[in-house]
Structure 1
Amino acid sequence: MLKQLFAKHPISASPHVDAGVLPHDGLDGEPTLKRVLSARHLVTLGIGAVIGAGIFVITGQAAAEHAGPAVMISFIVAGIACAFAGLCYAEFAAMIPVSGSAYAYSYATLGEIVAWFIGWNLVLEYMFAVATVAAGWSGYFNECLSIIGHWTGMSLALPDALASAPFKFAGHNIVATGTLINLPAVAIVAGLTCLCYIGIRQSSFVNGIIVSIKLIVIFLFLIFAFRFINPANWHPFIPPAEGPGQFGTSGIFRAAVLVFFSYVGFDAVSTAAGEAKNPQRDMPIGILGSLAICTVLYIAMALTLTGIAPYRSLGTPEPVATALSFYPQLLWLKAIVSFGALAGLSSVILVMLLGTSRIFFSMSKDGLLPLAMGRVHPTRRSPSVATVVSGVVAAVTAGLFPVSILGELVSMGTLLAFTTVCIGVLTLRYTRPELPRAFRVPGGMVGVWLVSGLGSLICLYLFWQSFQVNWPLIVGWTTIGMAIYFGYGHWHSKMRNPASRG
């Protein structure tokens, strides 16, 4: 029984890629995902996923509730952890160019039960990321309606009953807020799910347009807000502690967990490995390139945002717009930022929906989820059933729950996935040294020990900071996942039913 639980997915050489692939990505006569993405597409997918809620939502909340102006340090801490994990992801994605991301890597190195655990947490990461960002999108959508209403002299903003979550978390309890549903959040998830269903080529094209728009908006904000920075807003840079995780040094690390959510997108690039034209060359470029660009932008935004407004005022669903509201002469920029945020957050939702469906697709191909989830549309070449299921669940979650608690849960799932990827790269260096590696963690074995060790330790430390507060939720999520695995996945796994392998 124990041997079956830790059975590893075989990695074999394949004629259509330069390294190892998992069997279900072979050419078996069934419709498969189409390899159409270039390095440019992958970088824009990464930027599309990373630059969004972190800048337009999470930065303000992390500063207002945990770190103050020192949220910049929180971004650096989280960025270092992501840099280590990113190097490990790049080696894996170039070596095993399939759609399963950390799930597939764990299956090949640490065994089925670990792969299920990580896959289940990737579902938590991507699907709840969609819901979290959609909740932030709703706040900016209502802000845009208010702006248009101001221009036209009409009242267009939706009432709270239709634009905010009907449930919130009070401690470890779920309580009603008296509202009905977050309708804009549901609508944006539904619309982008339809786009994902149409196909990866169309989704990538739309994402490229959105990324261009939001980068222009960010640069406009940095340029025009810079002269309004008041250094007094940065003092004290590290506010005195007011409790565990509330300002002080502990607040910086608690905020690092929260802003870690801002970096989630770079690992979503790896879920597109099965659709990359030249994954050995392009996946490292997409992962590390998008991570480097986004880290610089995050630090610049954190400094500017806390420099133009008191950090305690930024704990709103639209902190950038809130900060600009202090300056009447920048109201024109506030309007542009609000509309730009809609575009920015839309691309995050789009890429995360793509990632969720690809994780479901890979787990289904291995028999751990119903086979229908692994069905590929014969003409659109997208995982159609997995896309619809992902969109429906994410839309319901976005319509019912608030942004703050979802963000922390997403970060916890991400950190666990990053930890296993760091450990997996080191493991495979010893167990399968003969596999071709188009990209390697630099520094030889000393380098991989350093990167893997520090990456996994930092990720586990950040995970523990949030686990102490939210452990009932993550334990509950894990319990549900294990119940599904032992009730269905374990008995239908293609590792135990070789005749059913496709």
Structure 2
Amino acid sequence: MQHRIRGMPRLLSQLFQRKPVGELIRELNAGDRLHRRLGPIELMSLGVGATIGTGLYVSTGIVARDIAGPSIMLSFLLAALGCGFAAMCYSELASMVPVAGSAYTYAYATLGELVAWIIGWDLILEYAIGSCYVANSWSNYFDSFLQHVFHIRLDPRFLSPPWDFDFRTESFVEQIVTLADGSRVMAWFNLPAVAITALITVVLVVGIKESAGFNAAMVLVNVGVVLTVIGVGAAYVNPDNWHPFLHEETKSRGIALGAARIFIAYIGFDSISTHAEEARRPQRDLALGILGALLVCTILYVGTAAVLTGMIPYKDIDKAAPLASALQSKGLTFAGGLVTLGILAGMTSSLLVGNLSQPRVLMAMARDGLLPTSFFADVHPRFKTPWKSTILVGLVVALGGALAPLSFLADLVSIGTLFAFVIVSAAVWILRVTDPGVERPFRVPFAPFVSAMGVLVNGGLMFSLGRDNWIRLFAWLAVGLCIYFLYSRRHSLLAGRLLAETGGTVAAEVPEPVSPD
């Protein structure tokens, strides 16, 4: 039973007004909705495709060399632990509310409109910057593939953004490249990043079934490559390379810091929940897809990290293309070229799912009036995709991939992802208290413990990223709050209904405490 407390200031009441779960479910059959064409295999494939990408193929080398050393294997397990708690929470919420929007939708149903906007804006950071990171990284492997297979060298001015980010001085510096004649000049922009983003955008506009089919093919190649790396590389593992196990310069914090920095490798599985509206049987298939993708990726991650750090000393790892370079250092030139081709397929899949998920978060926010509906919620009459926002996301990612420094992007993605996981973990327990009667096809076991651990582990990893990353996150959220108070709050459909129902006197609903089941 609920009771009302009248007299609360209208603005404050609106900021924390929740969107009832029942209303979210009723909206499933209203308006122009997306096609339900995805089964558990397609959903798991989307999760694996989004997850096994740049985080494995690039970040592994960076974190192993600079932060964790061979203990990156434990960093992957620690990150997987935090993801596991969050994954179970995502599964319960996605089965309860099978609509587009992911953590944004769950926050709207549990914590109110302001928190929903904050998490939605955070998801924009996670997916957009994450896709920029993948597109930026894709060109390194593309250039490596052309060199080792076809002996073609691209002009280095078209392979890097014009600036890099120096973490020691916390400043941007010019990106200098060396031409074939030995002269050193400033880079112009990352052309392959623009090209692959344009191709992906065309595929995404055509339709979800076509996108999922393309992604499934890329995932098969991707997983095959990872298994090839583990199988071939295992023959060249020297256990002496695992000593010292902890990075000499970060012994006291290497594992935790490594887990926080490597967290970008795990951002993919939560993208499955953004496609809840396109799942054929969301109450069952979403949980299978989310948990299955996390399990498969964790096993492959730990195995790859063990082989990489066992093949060569961690201080000698090539941060730009670690896996291909490690194989080539053992004389496996053909294998290195083959692996590079597979890696390109995996990173293409990761970019596809990132750019697939972002427009669906924007669409969910637009349906609530928080973003312009005519643009972000417009579904193509033939392809049934949010085509306008898909094209906009493609343009933003192409621009970011072409001009933004690679190293600067990674930590922004990690802290944004961790923040989303904290909110989702908290939302499960809050809904158990506020809406105990809602049907839960998938239930998190030991919900209080799992939810609390999801908040603590992921929140702790956020703090491991340091002050500067928090400053960047708060700066991004500050921009989002400006947009909310200048536009979104005035156009909120929920606030409009609330005002109409109360005749201008807002009543805030405060639920009585209910013992969770």
Asked if structure 2 preserves the Cα contact closer than 8 Å seen for 1:225 and 1:308, the reply is: yes
Give the CA deviation at 1:134: 1.1
- The code of the aligned residue for 1:8 comes to R
Structure 2 distance, partners of 1:482, 1:112, is: 12
Q: Within the alignment, does 1:416 sit opposite 2:396 as a pair?
A: no
- Quote the Cα distance in structure 2 between the aligned partners of 1:8 and 1:172: 40
Q: Contact between 1:494 and 1:500, CA under 8 Å: does it hold in 2?
A: no
Partners of 1:414 and 1:6 lie apart in 2 by 23
- Where do residues 270-349 of structure 1 align in structure 2 (5 Å cutoff)? 270-328=273-331, 330-349=332-351
- 2: distance between equivalents of 1:422 and 1:380? 34
Distance in 2 separating the partners of 1:471 and 1:440: 33
Length, aligned pairs only:
477
The code of the aligned residue for 2:46 comes to: L
Provide the rounded CA distance (Å) in 2 between the counterparts of 1:102 and 1:297: 26
Task: Map 1:393-472 to 2 at 5 A.
Answer: 393-442=396-445, 447-472=446-471
Give the CA deviation at 1:251: 1.9
1:478 positional shift: 1.1
Separation in 2, partners of 1:368, 1:38: 30
Read off the aligned partner of 1:347 and give its amino acid letter.
S
Q: Which amino acid aligns with 1:346?
A: T
- Report the secondary structure of 1:249's partner residue: coil
Match of 1:159 among 155, 160, 163: 155
In the alignment, what sits opposite 1:114? 115
| Greater mean alpha carbon deviation, residues 167-176 or residues 119-128 | 167-176
Give 1:149 shift: 3.2
**Which residue of structure 2 aligns with residue 196 of structure 1?**
204
Mark the CA change 1:467 to 1:492 in structure 2 (over 3 Å): closer, same or farther.
Answer: farther
One-letter amino acid matched to 2:19: H
In 1, Cα distance between the equivalents of 2:260 and 2:105? 25
Alignment match, 1:153: none
Asked if the contact 1:376–1:382 (Cα under 8 Å) also holds between the matched residues in 2, the reply is yes
Q: Structure 1 residues 62, 390: CA separation in 2 closer, same or farther (over 3 Å shift)?
A: same
Aligned residue type for 1:229: V
CA contact (8 A) 1:9 1:495 kept: yes
Q: What corresponds to 1:17 in structure 2?
A: none
Q: Secondary structure at the match of 2:495?
A: coil
Q: How does 1:62-461 map to 2 (within 5 A)?
A: 62-150=63-151, 156-170=152-166, 171-177=169-175, 178-240=186-248, 242=249, 247-328=250-331, 330-371=332-373, 372-442=375-445, 447-461=446-460
Q: Is the 8 A contact 1:166 1:400 kept in 2?
A: yes
Shift of 1:172: 3.4
Question: CA contact under 8 A between 1:467 and 1:474: conserved in structure 2?
Answer: no
Structure 1 residue 146: Cα displacement: 0.6
Amino acid at match of 2:481: M
Offset from partner CA, 1:387-438 (integer Å, 9 cap, x none): 1111111111111112222111101010110001000000000100000000
Describe the shift of the 1:204–1:353 C-alpha distance in structure 2 as closer, same or farther (beyond 3 A): same
Q: TM-score, normalised by structure 1?
A: 0.93
Q: Match for residue 20 of structure 2?
A: 10
1:240-262, CA deviations, whole angstroms, 9 ceiling, x for partnerless residues?
2x3xxxx2131221111111110
Q: Secondary structure at the match of 2:164?
A: strand
Deviation at 1:109, TM superposition (A): 0.2
Q: Deviations over 1:297-324 (max 9, x none)?
A: 0000000000001112224221101111
Shift of 1:48: 0.5
Identify which range, 471-480 or 72-81, moves more after superposition. Answer: 471-480
CA distance in 2, matches of 1:492, 1:402: 36
One-letter identity of the residue aligned with 2:199: G
Does the CA-based 8 Å contact 2:70-2:245 persist in structure 1? Answer: yes
Q: CA deviation at 1:24?
A: 4.3
Which deviates further from its counterpart, 166-175 or 353-362?
166-175
Letter of the 2:157 partner, please give it: A
The one-letter amino acid paired with 1:301 is T
Q: Which has the larger radius of gyration?
A: 2
Structure 1 runs of 4+ aligned residues shifted over 4 Å read none
Matched residue SS, 1:379 = coil
Native 8 Å contact 1:102 1:421 kept in 2: yes
Q: Are the equivalent residues in 2 in contact too, given 1:6–1:111 (CA < 8 A)?
A: yes
The letter for the 2-side match of 1:73 is L
Please tell me whether the aligned partners of residues 412 and 467 of structure 1 are also in contact (alpha carbons under 8 angstroms): no
Give the partner amino acid of 1:476.
A
SS in 1 for 2:19: coil
Q: Does the 8 Å contact 2:269/2:290 carry over to 1?
A: yes
Question: What do the CA deviations read for 1:356-393 (whole angstroms, capped 9, x no partner)?
Answer: 01111111111111111011001100011111111111
SS at the partner of 1:168?
strand
Return the alpha-carbon distance in structure 2 between the equivalents of residues 133 and 471 of structure 1. Answer: 22
Q: What secondary structure is seen at the aligned counterpart in 2 of 1:225? A: helix
Query: C-alpha displacement at 1:54, in angstroms?
Result: 2.3
Report how far residue 499 of structure 1 moved.
Answer: 10
Aligned position for 2:182 = none
- Counterparts of 1:76 and 1:88, CA distance in 2: 18
Q: Once the 2 structures are TM-superposed, how far is the Cα of residue 23 of structure 1 from its aligned partner? A: 5.2
Deviation string 1:212-238 (CA, Å, 9 cap, x unpaired) is 111111111111111100111100001
**C-alpha separation between the residues in 1 aligned to 2:466 and 2:22?**
38
Q: Secondary structure at the match of 1:174?
A: strand
For structure 1, the 5+ residue unaligned runs are 14-20, 151-155
Name the CA distance, whole Å, in 1 between partners of 2:111 and 2:461: 22
Rounded Cα–Cα distance in structure 2 between residues aligned with 1:169 and 1:22: 45
Distance 1:453 1:419 in 2: 9
Q: What displacement does 1:454 show?
A: 0.7
Q: Distance in 2 between matches of 1:362 and 1:248?
A: 44
